[in-house]
Amino acid sequence: QVQVAESGGGSVQPGGSLRLSCVASEFDDYGYHTYCMGWFRQFPGKERERVAIGDSDGRPIYAQSAKGRFTVGQENAKNTLYLQMTDLKPEDTAMYYCAAANHCYSNDKDWDNLGYWGQGTQVTISS
């Protein structure tokens, strides 16, 4: 069973920063390397949307909404991915999820169906 675990959520004021961390099992249930990891978020009443994904070679791909304020990268250990968020805004308030997969899918539905997901961590931006 692939394990994916997020940490680092919480409440901050607008303009603040947060760093989320994720660690995932190195191999999936079929023995394939979980090559790609990603951060997604879900606003209340909305579908989950991609924030950024990164492969094991450290090449990030950002959604337009994340460019400029969010950065992803690997921690020191394998199969980890952090999400550094700066200049946070109230509209960034959401549940943030980490996912791992053996491929960096370009389609979010493929992530939904084929990725391995954590339980999520709440991020709240409020004054």
% of the chain residues with pLDDT over 90: 66
pLDDT-based confidence at residue 31 (cuts at 50, 70, 90): confident
Q: What is the mean pLDDT of the chain?
A: 91
Question: Does residue 32 surpass a pLDDT of 90?
Answer: no
Calculate the CA dihedral of residues 100, 125, 64, 24 and round it to 10 degrees: -10
Question: Does residue 7 surpass a pLDDT of 90?
Answer: yes
pLDDT-based confidence at residue 46 (cuts at 50, 70, 90): very high
Calculate the CA dihedral of residues 21, 100, 94, 74 and round it to 10 degrees: 30
Question: Does residue 83 surpass a pLDDT of 70?
Answer: yes
Question: Does residue 58 surpass a pLDDT of 70?
Answer: no
Hey, what are 13's tokens?
């004021």
Q: What pLDDT score does 29 carry?
A: 80
